[in-house]
């Protein structure tokens, strides 16, 4: 499959998965999708870390993927989270994404089993050869316990199915090295680093904050991609406190709490995650009020 013409860039939202009484709340998910599209989000990303993929059953995971693709109705691209530390299991999710005509898949590095760089390469090579859908690599060592090296990213960039990498290592040096070694599209995986990463060549962000303020994240990314860095710095500073408080506890606890305060979802998370500490909720409220999203 020749897919290098496929590009994903701009403001891309890592969607939360709303729950109600322990079940996926599809009615609310529909409202969240409309909210994102109406506020300029370029790409929807269901079933990632922010979507609590780790505690979705396989049936739920597939159902959420299908629902988002169906309800988006081609209004924006949908890239489905389809990663696993079990290569065969990841392929099953990828094949489902292909079947439902998702625009691509986001595939995290295998967590817990800590593969070598050669193991990482073979994992993605196998998925690319058998999945036949555009793949965004996802490097987030703080979550997975393993970091993809720039050299491995460059090797994988030669595969026609591999179209981008979501870089959430927190390292601008990592981004520079990938840029030096290959022309793979780089996407920020850290809201606080979106503007600096765009300044050195990234093409957008897969954002947690965009669940709350999709219009502002869109404006930040557009300013950066146009080279309007004075405007970009203004929005970056405006979002600074939000980007900090959304990670004061484990993602997606704060962002779901924020959406709950905004009366957009029931802020349920699944164990082993739990509700936000009261003092942190109070701090989050202050930030949301300052941004004008809470009265």
CA separation for the pair 61, 231 (Å, rounded): 38
Q: Could you confirm whether 166 is annotated as catalytic?
A: yes
Where does 103-227 show beta strands of DSSP type E? 104-108, 135-139, 162-167, 185-188, 204-207
- Catalytic member of 121, 124, 166, 256: 166
126 classed as catalytic? no
Cα 131 to chain center, whole Å?
20
Whether the CB-CB separation of 254 and 276 falls below 8 Å is answered with yes
Residues 127, 90 contacting (CB under 8 angstroms)? yes
**From CA 94, how far away is CA 228, in angstroms rounded?**
37
Burial class (CB in 10 A: 0-12, 13-18, 19+), 271: exposed
Strands 104-108 and 135-139: parallel
The span from the CA of 282 to the CA of 122, in Å, is 46
What is the DSSP secondary structure assignment for residue 277, as one 8-state letter? P
Question: Which has the closest alpha carbon to 191: 257, 142, 239?
Answer: 239
Catalytic residue among 121, 124, 138, 218: 138
What is the sign, positive or negative, of the torsion defined by CA atoms of 234, 259, 57, 69?
negative
| Active-site amino acid positions | 138, 166
């Amino acid at each position: 499959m020749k897919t290098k013409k496929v590009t994903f860039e701009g403001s891309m939202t890592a969607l939360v998965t709303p729950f109600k009484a322990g079940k996926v709340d599809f009615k609310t998910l529909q409202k969240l999708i409309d909210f994102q599209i109406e506020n300029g989000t370029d790409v929807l990303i269901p079933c990632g870390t922010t979507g609590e993929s780790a505690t979705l059953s396989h049936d739920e995971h597939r159902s959420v993927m299908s629902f988002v693709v169906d309800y988006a109705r081609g209004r924006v691209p949908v890239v489905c989270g389809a990663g696993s530390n079990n290569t065969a299991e990841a392929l099953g999710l990828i094949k489902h994404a292909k079947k439902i005509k998702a625009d691509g898949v986001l595939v995290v590095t295998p967590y817990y089993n800590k593969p070598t760089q050669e193991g990482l390469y073979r994992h993605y090579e196998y998925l690319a050869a058998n999945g036949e859908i555009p793949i965004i690599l996802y490097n987030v060592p703080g979550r997975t316990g393993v970091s993809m090296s720039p050299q491995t990213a460059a090797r994988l960039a030669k595969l026609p199915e591999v179209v981008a990498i979501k870089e959430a290592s927190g390292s601008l040096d990592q981004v520079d090295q990938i840029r030096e070694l290959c022309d793979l599209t780089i996407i920020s995986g850290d809201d606080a680093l979106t503007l600096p990463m765009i300044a050195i060549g990234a093409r957008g962000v897969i954002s947690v904050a965009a669940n709350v303020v999709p219009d502002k994240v869109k404006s930040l990314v557009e300013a950066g991609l146009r080279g309007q860095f004075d405007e970009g710095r203004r929005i970056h500073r405006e979002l600074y406190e939000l980007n900090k408080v959304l990670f004061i506890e484990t993602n997606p606890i704060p962002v779901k709490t924020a959406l709950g305060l905004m009366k957009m979802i029931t802020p349920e998370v699944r164990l082993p995650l739990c509700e936000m500490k009261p003092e942190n909720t109070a701090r989050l409220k202050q930030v949301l009020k300052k941004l004008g999203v809470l009265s």
